[in-house]
Chains A and B, each alone.
Chain A
């Protein structure tokens, strides 16, 4: 039987190898050479450079959205269905209700990124707790938590999200919660596997022999060393959450009071044939962002994979 921990790492990020001892030389928050390594990595990988550039642009846009377009992006300010370039005041055109597409894209960046990040953080929180506790303590607790994780994993996650959104209502909060609740099992399994292999390592055993309690062992010794693959996985979760939100909007379950890229696609889908830019522009924004997140994830992953370092 293949090592499940390795498989899981491979599932999330295929390039991650089995962890070899000496965790302290690995990525640790605040380690000195980090910046240099990152730069070396970026300068050697055009994909990663592209990814970081796109993400920086999107995040910058999201943060300054209110400065570019201080008014409500849902306001009907233009004649309906202006094409991009038709009116210089609305460079990217307007939708069927006369809302400025450029304003929507800029504000949508904020909502879409928030949806992705918060949903990922939520599933990270649940996944770390469930996987960490199970992996560290083992025994009956672990068995029970594994069962719960399996249970959530057999339910088709998108269907699960749909049911949760129908129970609540289509608002950004509910959507984010639903996505977070549906996508934590991957993290839990990954974290559990990491914890199980780390708790037997020499430095953890050493710390244990010094009489440290479980809280300190988990938070100070194991967690920092288990984090890198988890962080990489999180970049994929952010991307997936953005895609799920857009699919929800496509099915008419988006938040009607907020502009997200997903909701713009949902609103524009009826005009797919007559005003394709209404779906193509936010669709392109999603595509670029998701692509960038994956490229950066790949690059981070390569950074942790010593065997491949020489190849690049």
Chain B
């Protein structure tokens, strides 16, 4: 079950090129009508990513509530609720012109007041919003169709943070004066999106219906979207194979992918959605005395063949990245970094030299190996066996979410942990938290688990977080990746597989960089 509750919030760039997701090609107009049954895993407790992004709500939400912007596969912004935008030279003001004539599903007008309210709410309540919008001083609303975000310091990642899956714009008139986290609208959302919420039966399904008054005339093409929650992976595969469901992201066991790609009525897409940008890594606990020695960490890293891990654990569908910023992020990934050569002899020699000789039973020392339930448990098995070859006995401790975060981040009762800290849409948001010494915070999940502290890295990360000049920012991130690689506080694995299964009738389901977290406005079922 833990295995299944896992949520893969990213996808590797196997084929960064758009693999048949898009273009119904030269076809005439997309077919109108039809019902799509879509499997989302795991079931979320609420339906929009406002106060938490747990479960599949970042996938379901954007069908009903929209963001100001949407993004292409290189994360360049495109208009959505905002039709135009302008960033001040000093990076301290963002002016958005809003789309006129947009109505909430309950008939009220969408205005700049909703934008201001939503941004400030996100700053208050969203799990990442507190840091993303930390520099926001105020949101001005000079007129109903203009919103101006005013910052105290530049935030170069801000323009990338405005997708519906990350920063949904919610109706002020339904949220104002309520306890945002307890607002029933979180599970029965009212938005501006292409689909209108109809029902949510916990443990079973969600029904969304076509919004006939959607601002983008002629869209959406579907009459209805049924979201189904199926906890068991084999049962999900059965639902897709039998045609009960037509679309599912991360739905089937990886071992089934090859078989599915040979089924005539189904299509398998392996795409790394840039906006999600999965990334997994092995993190050393630098408070463990043995692991304070860089030579030991390097030796351990030389025992782990990440390419073999990709082949065995990820069935070859992952995208290996030795750099801390994965390949999905085309702007900042440092392609010059290579893994230390896999060489158990060299590793054993290094451990011998460090005074960690094999004992009578053939082992040198014992380590506690934890893994985030988002990781495949098989990755932990793989690492354990890899380390056994150089005489390191890594004992796997398998926990559910709550115990894992407590053990790793509160009690710090681990030596090695396999983490799933996604790069997200920008390194300042997704990567800085892992390596920034000021983010070593006991009790805070997904902070600096290694307890890594390097003043030079801190300087680079802090500079990049306010650098408005794109080229300079890139240089800062490239150098940061090199230093972190040389210091080995972690072994970067790269992006775990992101597999989408669809019926061949499903077209244009992910035309944007957000992938399945887009709006489905363009999705059509072609005969």
A–B direct contact (CB < 8 Å): yes
Whole-angstrom CA separation of A166 from B382 in the bound complex: 24
Whole-angstrom CA separation of A169 from B1 in the bound complex: 15
* Given A273-B234, A274-B256, residue A252 in contact with residue B388 (CB < 8 A): no
| B378 in contact (CB, < 8 A) | yes
Distance in angstroms from B423 CB to nearest chain A CB is: 26
A97 adjacent to B381 (CB under 8 Å): yes
Nearest CB in chain A to that of B311: its residue = A80
B234 adjacent to A169 (CB under 8 Å): no
When distances are taken between beta carbons in the complex, the residues of chain B under 8 Å from A72 are 388
Distance in angstroms from A70 CB to nearest chain B CB is: 13
Nearest CB in chain B to that of A168: its residue = B403
* Given A75-B385, A166-B403, residue A252 in contact with residue B4 (CB < 8 A): yes
Distance in angstroms from A161 CB to nearest chain B CB is: 13
Stretch at the interface among B117-125, B156-164, B392-400, B452-460: B392-400
Chain A interface secondary structure, helix, strand, loop or mixed? Answer: loop
A74, A80, A254, A256: residue with the most chain B Cβ atoms closer than 10 Å:
A256
When distances are taken between beta carbons in the complex, the residues of chain A under 8 Å from B313 are 97
| B36 in contact (CB, < 8 A) | no
| B233 in contact (CB, < 8 A) | yes
When distances are taken between beta carbons in the complex, the residues of chain B under 8 Å from A170 are 398-399
B388 adjacent to A270 (CB under 8 Å): no
When distances are taken between beta carbons in the complex, the residues of chain B under 8 Å from A270 are 233-234, 253-256
B312 adjacent to A98 (CB under 8 Å): yes
| A141 in contact (CB, < 8 A) | no
Whole-angstrom CA separation of A272 from B312 in the bound complex: 17
B388 adjacent to A75 (CB under 8 Å): yes
Nearest CB in chain A to that of B253: its residue = A270
A76 adjacent to B385 (CB under 8 Å): yes
When distances are taken between beta carbons in the complex, the residues of chain A under 8 Å from B397 are 169, 256
* Given A251-B1, A273-B259, residue A96 in contact with residue B312 (CB < 8 A): yes
Whole-angstrom CA separation of A18 from B1 in the bound complex: 44
Interface size for A (C-beta < 8 A) is: 27
Nearest CB in chain B to that of A268: its residue = B255
When distances are taken between beta carbons in the complex, the residues of chain B under 8 Å from A166 are 400, 403
Distance in angstroms from A158 CB to nearest chain B CB is: 13
| A275 in contact (CB, < 8 A) | yes
| A271 in contact (CB, < 8 A) | yes
Whole-angstrom CA separation of A253 from B3 in the bound complex: 9
Partner of A74, one of B233, B234, B253, B384: B384
Partner of B377, one of A76, A98, A252: A252
When distances are taken between beta carbons in the complex, the residues of chain B under 8 Å from A271 are 253, 255-256
| B380 in contact (CB, < 8 A) | yes
| A6 in contact (CB, < 8 A) | no
Nearest CB in chain A to that of B6: its residue = A252
| A269 in contact (CB, < 8 A) | yes
B2 adjacent to A253 (CB under 8 Å): yes
Whole-angstrom CA separation of A255 from B397 in the bound complex: 8
When distances are taken between beta carbons in the complex, the residues of chain B under 8 Å from A24 are none
| A257 in contact (CB, < 8 A) | yes
When distances are taken between beta carbons in the complex, the residues of chain A under 8 Å from B312 are 76, 80, 96-98
A169 adjacent to B385 (CB under 8 Å): no
Interface residues of A in 263-297 (CB under 8 A from B): 267, 269-275
A76 adjacent to B382 (CB under 8 Å): yes
Nearest CB in chain A to that of B376: its residue = A270
When distances are taken between beta carbons in the complex, the residues of chain A under 8 Å from B247 are none
| B115 in contact (CB, < 8 A) | no
Q: Mark B245-285, 1 if CB is under 8 A from A, else 0.
A: 00000000111101100000000000000000000000000
Whole-angstrom CA separation of A203 from B1 in the bound complex: 54
Whole-angstrom CA separation of A275 from B253 in the bound complex: 12
Q: Mark A246-260, 1 if CB is under 8 A from B, else 0.
A: 000001111111000
* Given A72-B388, A97-B385, residue A273 in contact with residue B380 (CB < 8 A): no
| B237 in contact (CB, < 8 A) | yes
When distances are taken between beta carbons in the complex, the residues of chain B under 8 Å from A80 are 312
Partner of A96, one of B378, B385, B395, B403: B378
Distance in angstroms from B241 CB to nearest chain A CB is: 9
When distances are taken between beta carbons in the complex, the residues of chain B under 8 Å from A256 are 377, 380-381, 396-398
When distances are taken between beta carbons in the complex, the residues of chain B under 8 Å from A98 are 312
* Given A252-B1, A275-B255, residue A97 in contact with residue B377 (CB < 8 A): no
When distances are taken between beta carbons in the complex, the residues of chain B under 8 Å from A169 are 397-399, 403
Q: Mark B224-238, 1 if CB is under 8 A from A, else 0.
A: 000000000110010
Nearest CB in chain A to that of B238: its residue = A273
When distances are taken between beta carbons in the complex, the residues of chain B under 8 Å from A96 are 255, 312, 378
Distance in angstroms from B289 CB to nearest chain A CB is: 23
Partner of B255, one of A76, A253, A257, A274: A274
Interface residues of A in 28-67 (CB under 8 A from B): none
Distance in angstroms from A305 CB to nearest chain B CB is: 42
Q: Mark B93-137, 1 if CB is under 8 A from A, else 0.
A: 000000000000000000000000000000000000000000000
Q: Mark B303-328, 1 if CB is under 8 A from A, else 0.
A: 00000000011000000000000000
When distances are taken between beta carbons in the complex, the residues of chain B under 8 Å from A272 are 234, 253
Interface residues of B in 168-210 (CB under 8 A from A): none
Distance in angstroms from A27 CB to nearest chain B CB is: 43
Whole-angstrom CA separation of A253 from B381 in the bound complex: 15
Whole-angstrom CA separation of A272 from B381 in the bound complex: 19
Whole-angstrom CA separation of A267 from B385 in the bound complex: 16
B255 adjacent to A252 (CB under 8 Å): no
Whole-angstrom CA separation of A65 from B278 in the bound complex: 42
Nearest CB in chain A to that of B258: its residue = A274
A252 adjacent to B2 (CB under 8 Å): yes
Whole-angstrom CA separation of A273 from B397 in the bound complex: 28
A269 adjacent to B234 (CB under 8 Å): yes
B259, B384, B397, B398: residue with the most chain A Cβ atoms closer than 10 Å:
B398
Whole-angstrom CA separation of A270 from B4 in the bound complex: 11
Whole-angstrom CA separation of A254 from B1 in the bound complex: 11
Whole-angstrom CA separation of A256 from B234 in the bound complex: 21
Whole-angstrom CA separation of A212 from B209 in the bound complex: 81
Distance in angstroms from B399 CB to nearest chain A CB is: 6
When distances are taken between beta carbons in the complex, the residues of chain B under 8 Å from A97 are 312-313, 378, 381-382, 385
Nearest CB in chain B to that of A251: its residue = B1
Q: Mark B369-410, 1 if CB is under 8 A from A, else 0.
A: 000000001101110110010000001111110010000000
Whole-angstrom CA separation of A271 from B384 in the bound complex: 21
Distance in angstroms from A104 CB to nearest chain B CB is: 12
Residue numbers of A with Cβ under 8 A of B are 72, 74-76, 80-81, 96-98, 166, 169-170, 251-257, 267, 269-275
Could you show 17 A-B contacts with beta carbons less than 8 Å apart? A75-B388, A76-B382, A76-B385, A98-B312, A166-B403, A252-B4, A253-B1, A253-B2, A254-B398, A255-B398, A269-B234, A270-B234, A270-B254, A270-B256, A271-B253, A272-B253, A273-B253
Can you name 6 extra interface pairs (CB under 8 A) apart from A76-B385, A252-B398?
A81-B255, A170-B398, A252-B3, A254-B398, A273-B237, A273-B256
Please name the 7 residue pairs, one residue from A and one from B, whose CB atoms are nearest each other, closest first.
Answer: A270-B253, A256-B396, A251-B1, A252-B2, A252-B3, A271-B255, A256-B398
Residue numbers of B with Cβ under 8 A of A are 1-4, 233-234, 237, 253-256, 258-259, 312-313, 377-378, 380-382, 384-385, 388, 395-400, 403
